[in-house]
């Protein structure tokens, strides 16, 4: 290929990638919350997850975008690992639609006659309409036009080139040659970060006679494996569960690729027969599109019955200290049959959550940066999961038993959990404000007063976890008033310093927001201490009542544990 041909080829790839990006982003914005609703519906079963993955990938024309979104949802604990795996399966299957568009449209339609009107219509919608959703739809139409234009350039680049000697020789190297073409497919996908681009290059090259059909099939396998690099990049620095989801995609595509490579020749024969039966002809691009679809279906058939084991295996990997701490230690389904024991187990777990939330708040108030802040953020997310687990457990107690004995304790438990959840929200706010880099006070004397107030906040948080029996209404009220007496003068001095120009206004605003979040965290910790005390007493009374009502059972249980 001469220099001009090489530049035309690169330009075609650029148009294709730009079109894919515009189309994907435009469709995603135009769809709005519909895509999130589809993903939310996938939580009901693994099959729904697969269907949702297929639909969303077909809608936004980007499996990478779906994988990124799915890992983000797992990272935020909005999807479980099992739910995410179904979506990942579906996204891998949905990406075969690109192969079909290239095969059916790319070789049977005048692409320029189709592309230019789409670009004109899309740009017209972007310029004329005032609706953000219609503008996004215009971007998608213009992107589709660029997609077809890039495809036309690629097809023209490969037309009539023939089969160069080196590529023909590699295709005749047997397994070693096919492995080289698999590596080329992986490299193209990783380089462009788009399996669609790699597939378009492969199918147009095969359609133009540049590479043999078996070599092109090997490149299709490589594109499927190479697209897992997106998941790997998305999972860097993410939660352990997100890394598990990324690993699930790597395993799925690798297994599908391995099975397809082993069965490459028979699969191509089946694809030829299917193309004839469907009346699609036996153009190389159509056969390869069928081969690509068969590859993903094979992977789904192999891993579908193994998915529960895969989830179990992944859950044993990527363990972290923050995740381990966020796992329930006292919640046991076996005690649900005894409401008193179940409530006491939830109380013990709530006490753990309270201790960890106060510890996180103290660490956030003391300040951290870089990896330390990221570690604290991971611990905060894990602790949010623990609080949610406690609430779910409490809900199951309420649903499974209508025992009036827990009527007093249950509201106390839910109230305490809400206080701890609010503390974690304040921790998140402090982290966000710290990340702005504006929380530094240049005025030395004022900075000392701010540090003194923060030190008092840490002391109050630590005190809230000690001497639980002392935190009655009066003690909590006194502690809150004491902190407010320290807080208000610092707030007033900050405002005065900003008014006098000693502290930049932006820095004053960030510092006040941070102090307000700290004040709220202290306030919630003190109130939680009071209600945690009441919850402990309620559980003790319930246990005393239970022992009085069932003395024989109590004696038997003592004998059993003796």
Q: Report the distance separating Cα 61 and Cα 96, nearest Å.
A: 10
pLDDT tens digits along 196-230: 778 888 887 787 777 888 888 999 999 889 888 87
Mean pLDDT of all residues in 233-244: 69
Mean pLDDT of 48-67: 76
User: How many other C-beta atoms lie within 10 A of the C-beta of residue 100?
Assistant: 18
- 19-31 confidence digits (pLDDT tens): 767 776 776 666 5
Rounded alpha-carbon distances, angstroms, from residue 399 to 51, 335, 386, 466: 32, 14, 20, 34
At 267-308, the pLDDT tens digits run 999 998 888 887 777 788 888 989 999 999 999 999 999 998
The share of the chain scoring above pLDDT 90, in percent, equals: 12
Query: Rounded CA gap, 50 and 205, in Å?
Result: 31
pLDDT at 322: 56
Domain 323-561 class, CATH top level: mainly alpha
Q: Could you state, in order of their start, the residue ranges of all structural domains in the chain?
A: 3-315, 323-561
Residue 34: which pLDDT band, with cuts at 50, 70 and 90? Answer: low
CB 522 within 8 A of CB 476: no
Q: Is the pLDDT of residue 255 over 90?
A: yes
Q: How far is it, in rounded angstroms, from Cα 419 to Cα 461?
A: 13
Using 50, 70 and 90 to split pLDDT, how confident is the model at 251?
Answer: very high
What does residue 369 show for φ and ψ, rounded to 5 degrees? -145, 165
The string of pLDDT tens digits covering residues 344-399 is 888 888 988 888 899 889 988 887 666 677 778 778 888 888 888 888 888 877 55
Read off the pLDDT of each residue in 407-421 and give the average, rounded to a whole number: 87
Q: What is the pLDDT of residue 333?
A: 72
DSSP letter at 304 equals: T
Mean pLDDT for the stretch of residues 87-116: 77
pLDDT, tens digit (0-9, with 9 covering 90-100), for 327-339: 777 777 766 767 7
342 versus 169: the higher-pLDDT residue is 342
C-alpha 448/C-alpha 450 separation (Å) is: 5
Instruction: For residue 254, give both structure tokens.
Output: 């690798």
The per-residue DSSP string of 193-207 comes to: T-HHHHHHHHHHHHH
How many other CB atoms are there within 10 angstroms of residue 425's CB atom? 15
Is residue 252 predicted with pLDDT exceeding 90? Answer: yes
What pTM did the predictor assign? Answer: 0.55
Label residue 418 by pLDDT band (50, 70, 90). Answer: very high
């Amino acid at each position: 290929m001469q220099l001009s041909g090489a530049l035309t080829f690169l330009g075609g790839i650029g148009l294709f990638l730009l079109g894919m990006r515009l189309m994907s982003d435009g469709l995603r914005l135009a769809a709005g919350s519909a895509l999130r609703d589809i993903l939310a519906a996938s939580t009901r079963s693994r099959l729904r997850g697969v269907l949702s993955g297929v639909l969303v990938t077909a809608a936004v024309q980007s499996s990478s975008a779906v994988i990124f979104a799915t890992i983000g949802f797992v990272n935020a604990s909005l999807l479980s690992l099992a739910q995410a795996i179904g979506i990942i399966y579906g996204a891998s299957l949905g990406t075969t639609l690109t192969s079909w568009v290239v095969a059916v449209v790319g070789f049977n339609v005048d692409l320029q006659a189709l592309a230019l009107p789409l670009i004109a219509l899309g740009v017209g919608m972007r310029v004329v309409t005032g609706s953000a959703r219609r503008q996004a739809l215009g971007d998608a139409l213009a992107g589709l036009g660029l997609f077809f234009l890039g495809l036309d350039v690629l097809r023209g680049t490969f037309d009539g080139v023939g089969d160069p000697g080196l590529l023909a020789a590699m295709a005749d190297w047997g397994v070693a040659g096919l492995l080289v073409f698999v590596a080329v497919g992986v490299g193209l996908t990783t380089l462009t970060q788009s399996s669609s681009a790699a597939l378009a290059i492969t199918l147009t090259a095969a359609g133009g006679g540049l590479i043999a059909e078996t070599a092109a099939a090997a490149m299709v396998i490589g594109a499927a494996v190479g697209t897992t690099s997106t998941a790997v990049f998305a999972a860097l620095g993410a939660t352990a569960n997100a890394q598990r989801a990324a690993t699930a995609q790597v395993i799925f595509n690798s297994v599908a690729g391995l099975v397809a490579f082993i069965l490459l020749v028979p699969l191509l024969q089946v694809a030829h027969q299917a193309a004839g039966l469907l009346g699609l002809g036996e153009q190389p691009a159509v056969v390869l599109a069928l081969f690509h679809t068969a590859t993903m279906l094979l992977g789904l058939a192999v891993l579908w019955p193994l998915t529960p084991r895969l989830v179990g295996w992944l859950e044993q990997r990527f363990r972290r200290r923050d995740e381990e701490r966020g796992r329930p230690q006292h919640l046991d389904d076996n005690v649900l049959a005894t409401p008193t024991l179940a409530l006491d187990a939830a109380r013990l777990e709530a006490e753990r959550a309270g201790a960890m939330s106060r510890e996180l708040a103290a660490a956030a108030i003391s300040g951290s940066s870089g990896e330390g802040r990221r570690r604290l953020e991971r611990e905060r997310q894990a602790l949010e999961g623990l609080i949610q687990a406690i609430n779910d457990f409490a809900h199951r107690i309420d649903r499974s038993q209508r025992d009036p004995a827990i009527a007093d304790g249950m509201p106390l438990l839910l109230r305490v959990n809400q206080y701890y959840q609010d503390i974690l929200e304040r921790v998140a706010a402090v982290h966000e404000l710290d990340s702005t880099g504006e929380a530094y006070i240049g005025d030395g004397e004022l900075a000392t007063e701010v540090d003194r107030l923060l030190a008092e906040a840490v002391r109050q948080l630590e005190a809230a976890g000690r001497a639980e029996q002392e935190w009655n209404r009066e003690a909590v009220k006194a502690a809150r008033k004491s902190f407010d007496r320290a807080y208000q003068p610092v707030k007033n001095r900050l405002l005065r310093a900003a008014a006098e120009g000693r502290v930049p206004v932006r820095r004053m605003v960030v510092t006040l927001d941070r102090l307000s979040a700290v004040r709220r965290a202290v306030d919630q910790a003190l109130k939680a201490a009071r209600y945690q005390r009441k919850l402990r007493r309620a559980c003790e009374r319930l246990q005393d009542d239970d022992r009085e009502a069932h003395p024989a059972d109590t004696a038997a249980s003592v004998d059993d544990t003796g």
